[in-house]
Amino acid sequence: MLRYGRQACLCPPQAGSLCYRSLCYRSLCHQTAKGNIVPYCLNHSEIKEESALSKKDYFLEPEKFSNVFFLLVLGIFLTTCVLMVWPFIKILGWAVALTIIAYPLHNFITRVIKNPTLSAFLSSFIMIVVILIPATLLITGVINEAGNLAKVIQVYIQEEKYKQLYNPLNIKFIKVLYDYVSQYYDFSKIDLNTTLSGYLGEVSSFAGKQGTRLVKNVLLFFVQAGLTLVIFFFLLKDGKKIIFSLQPFIPLSDEKTKLVLSRAAETVRVTVYGWLVVGIVQGTLLGIIFAILGLPSPLFWGGITVLLCFIPLVGAPVVWFPASVVLALKGMWLKAIVLFLWGAIIINLTDNFLRPLLVGAKLKLHPMVVFFAIFGGLFLMGPLGLLIGPAILAITLVLLDILKIKLNEDEV
């Protein structure tokens, strides 16, 4: 009789067979989950089958338990880190976007200045002077002019000055159409003055609130801008080291990781250079001609032109063409012709010349795809979405290409 712990085994070992216990094939006795002693021996195949079932009744082995505990603790700490960083996610996003935009300039500066700290500082200073300060002044001016323009138009409608324009009912086709529709609908019920004044009042109120909010949050704005610039500086200085340290945790090969990151960076640059720069140039040209001709709110209409340039098949003509028509209806034929020629020749040429020059064949995406990426990102993440939206789209397309290649390899 052999003894295992406090349990006695009644079956002596025989040649060609093994006595069995749950967690060890080589034990000389067998104890079931209920604690009963089984007084017979099992051959080797039966031992394996019974062992697989009985292991479920025991705790994890120490090594596996240690791994699970480690992953659990790691997950808790990673979640805590994400929650701490989350309030600054937009600041981090702006810093990353600025780094991608400034990287060609920074790469050129590092060839001349070998000191990484000094080159990063110089690149940051140039970006502040060239982009951030003018952009801040421009946005502030656009908000102020939007409020002023809404008030002017509201007064214009209340005083019924719009009736001084050319009456479209003098056109025979419009008159016939108007008379036909009037048989089924009473247009006298429509109070155009009240309706338009109400809408413009809401616009004016919104612009005023935005301006007031901007003044109230000016301190917060400068704090966020300062944090963005600090992160931007360190990303320029140590960006390559950060990417290199994260590569082991990315479940892609180094080649595919570089492809994903390069495509995202390229998309942000194309969005900035191919869409934003062209929009800024066209908005600037339109604002200049508005100021020369003495038209109201040139800064506001220039800002609207910048946004419209992101919409395929729309762009700047939506601003300068109606303005030309209004000038013509008011009898200002010279200004109308000058504005029309300026828009049709000068502004349109910048789009046809600059966009291929800045973008080239770097990124071939359908304009409607770019439209949804830009404005979808804008609605989801605010102004940051103008840059991050296309980048997310580009990364998604690259990952889908990698998945397609992987599936084709598996089929082969």
For residue 282, is it within any domain? Answer: yes
Answer yes or no: do 196 and 276 share one domain: no
Q: At what angle do helices 277-293 and 348-359 cross, to 10 degrees?
A: 160
Answer yes or no: do 232 and 263 share one domain: no
- Tell me which of 100-104, 179-183, 242-246, 327-331 is least confident: 179-183
Q: What is the pLDDT of residue 150?
A: 67
Answer yes or no: do 179 and 299 share one domain: no
pLDDT beyond 60 at 5: no
Mean pLDDT across the stretch 104-118? 87
% of the chain exceeding 70 in pLDDT:
64
For residue 89, is it within any domain? Answer: no
In which band, very low, low, confident or very high, does the pLDDT at 341 lie, cut at 50, 70 and 90?
very high
Answer yes or no: do 288 and 374 share one domain: yes
CA torsion angle for 369, 372, 250, 65 (degrees, to 10)?
Answer: -130
Last residue of a domain, one of 222, 246, 270: 246
Answer yes or no: do 277 and 228 share one domain: no
- Greatest mean pLDDT among 33-37, 39-43, 156-160, 161-165 lies in 156-160
Task: Identify the three-state secondary structure at position 37.
Answer: strand
In which band, very low, low, confident or very high, does the pLDDT at 37 lie, cut at 50, 70 and 90?
very low
Q: What is the pLDDT of residue 170?
A: 60
Report CA 213 to chain centroid distance, whole Å.
24
Answer yes or no: do 268 and 280 share one domain: yes
Of 30, 70, 35, the residue nearest 50 (C-alpha): 30
Answer yes or no: do 311 and 374 share one domain: yes
pLDDT beyond 70 at 38: no
Last residue of a domain, one of 185, 213, 246: 246
pLDDT beyond 50 at 18: no
DSSP string, 69-137: HHHHHHHHHHHHHHHHHGGGHHHHHHHHHHHHHHHHHHHHHHHH---HHHHHHHHHHHHIIIIIHHHHH
Number of domains the chain is built from = 3
Q: Residues 140-172, buried b or exposed e (16+ Cβ, 10 A)?
A: ebbbbbbbbbbbebbeebeeeeeeeeeeeeeee
The domain in which residue 48 lies consists of 2-58
pLDDT beyond 70 at 156: no
- Greatest mean pLDDT among 6-15, 19-28, 61-70, 388-397 lies in 388-397
pLDDT beyond 50 at 7: no
CA distance 351 to 299: 20
